[in-house]
Amino acid sequence: MPRRTVFIVLFRGVGGKTQLPTAPLRTALTEAGFENVATYINSGNAVLRTTLGREETRRRVGEIVAKAFGFDKAVHLVTGQEWDELIANNPFPHALAIPKYLHAAWLETEPAAEAVERVRSLATGGEGFEIRGRVAYLHTPHGFGTSKMAARFDRAIGVENTARNWNTVLKLSELAEKALA
């Protein structure tokens, strides 16, 4: 029997004018042959199980959302194991008291050292920024929406990425566990 992998699917740029409604997305992915599909809120999160490799899965998911929803932005795939490591490697355990102020950004590639320092230099007022492999952790204790570091992160880091707050990180972990069954 072929090995099945659980992928957490993170769609970049969902919100505002770009929507991926959860029920139709779940249906489209399931009809395409993906197993144990789950979605979480209308901000571009899905979990699925497949025997396909990462790139083939990314290609097929990209084609599905382009055809069904007119969505043409980046699709990031993270394995369940990589997601577990993302959680375990959190450099801000004290931030878990208010999880909405902690964000993890999945990076397409590792950023240049200069880019990391550029973002770090924007941190003020107890904010924190760390990179662990292909994950950037942003702790914004006064709010993500009011943080200059958070507002400038996307451009300053210099690599394709998509971020989720810690509440979403934990919910996607829960859905990935269920998808293993």
- Summarize pLDDT for 145-169 with one digit per residue, the tens: 999 999 999 999 999 999 999 999 9
Alpha helices in the chain (DSSP H): 22-31, 54-69, 80-88, 113-120, 148-157, 166-179
Place of tokens 């507002």: 151
Averaged pLDDT, 120-125? 96
pLDDT tens-digit readout, 28-65 = 999 999 999 999 987 789 999 999 999 999 999 999 99
**Higher per-residue pLDDT: 158 or 1:** 158
- 36 backbone φψ class: left, alpha, beta (φ>0; ψ -120 to 50): left
For the full predicted model, state whether its pTM sits above 0.75. yes
Averaged pLDDT, 112-129? 97
**Of 110, 112, 115, 106, which is closest to residue 87 (Cα–Cα)?**
106
Percent of the chain with pLDDT over 90: 87
Confidence band, pLDDT 50/70/90 cuts, at residue 105: very high
Residue pair 167/100 in contact (Cβ under 8 Å)? The answer is yes
pLDDT of residue 42: 78
Rounded to a whole number of angstroms, the CA Rg of the chain reads 16
Q: How many CA atoms lie within 13 A of 74 on its CB side?
A: 13
Beta bridge partners of 9: 46, 77
Mean model confidence pLDDT for the chain: 95
Beta bridge partners of 78: 8
Averaged pLDDT, 101-124? 97
**Higher per-residue pLDDT: 128 or 18:** 128
As a 3-state breakdown, the chain gives helix, strand, coil percent values, each rounded to 5, of 45, 25, 30
pLDDT of residue 1: 67
Confidence band, pLDDT 50/70/90 cuts, at residue 13: confident
Query: Coil, strand or helix: which one is 151?
Result: helix
Residue pair 23/9 in contact (Cβ under 8 Å)? The answer is no
